[in-house]
């Protein structure tokens, strides 16, 4: 699908939601931005959908947008984004429900449960995604960049 040449008309509505006016001038009061490649290419290809999941517009390049629109878009995305980046692995130990990970992420410390081996997926290039029991994704963007101790704890997965 071809991205429209003109940038999509995004605004903040009075209630704080993202609003969109399409090419015909119709205004959608609440729209959702959706990253199409949240793990491998999070900053390009962002779809604007209505609440029913119908695509209204698709933005290929966020950087190409005018500053105000980009700001609104990134803010709205930030409200919905939740893929903590694992920085330090403290422990991975066997618990009642699979493995319990205790980590420090860019969003603070947490612990979560990984139910099975398939939930730790290498995407190639040292990029690893860990999916916990509630389907929350955690990322390790570059295994080699982890400290030695954390890497050692991760050893059984690579």
Distance in Å, CB of 151 to other proteins, minimum: 11
Least distance from C-beta 127 to other proteins, angstroms? Answer: 15
Give the interface with other proteins as residue ranges (CB under 8 A). Answer: 16, 52, 78-84, 90, 94-98, 102, 104-105, 107-113, 115-119, 132-137, 152, 155-158
Pairwise CA distance, residues 51 & 31, whole Å? 6
The residue (of 70 and 137) whose beta carbon lies closer to other proteins is 137
- What sign does the CA torsion over 69, 75, 80, 82 have? positive
Q: Least CB distance from residue 120 to other proteins, whole Å?
A: 9
| β-sheet bridge partners, residue 105 | 86, 108
Q: Which is nearer to other proteins, 27 or 80 (CB)?
A: 80
CA atoms within 13 A on the CB side of 95: 14
Shortest Å, Cβ 22 to other proteins: 21
Neighbours of 77 (CB within 10 A): 19
Main-chain phi, psi angles of 25, to 5 degrees: 90, 5
Closer CB to other proteins, residue 40 or residue 64? 40
Which CB sits closer to other proteins, 9 or 72? 72
Place of tokens 């959908």: 49
């Amino acid at each position: 699908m071809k991205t429209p040449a003109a940038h999509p008309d995004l605004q903040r509505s009075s209630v704080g939601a993202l609003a969109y006016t399409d090419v015909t001038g119709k205004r959608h009061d609440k729209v959702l931005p959706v990253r199409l490649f949240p793990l491998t290419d999070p900053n390009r290809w962002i779809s604007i959908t209505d609440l029913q999941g119908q695509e209204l517009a698709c933005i290929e390049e966020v950087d190409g947008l005018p500053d105000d629109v980009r700001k609104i878009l990134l803010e709205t995305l930030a409200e919905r984004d939740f893929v903590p980046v694992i920085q330090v692995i403290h422990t991975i130990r066997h618990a009642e429900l699979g493995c319990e990970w205790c980590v420090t992420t860019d969003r603070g410390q947490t612990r979560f449960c990984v139910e099975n081996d398939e939930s730790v997926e290498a995407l190639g290039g040292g990029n690893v995604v860990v999916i916990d029991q509630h389907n929350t994704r955690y990322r390790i963007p570059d295994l080699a960049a982890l400290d030695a101790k954390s890497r050692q704890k991760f050893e059984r997965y690579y």
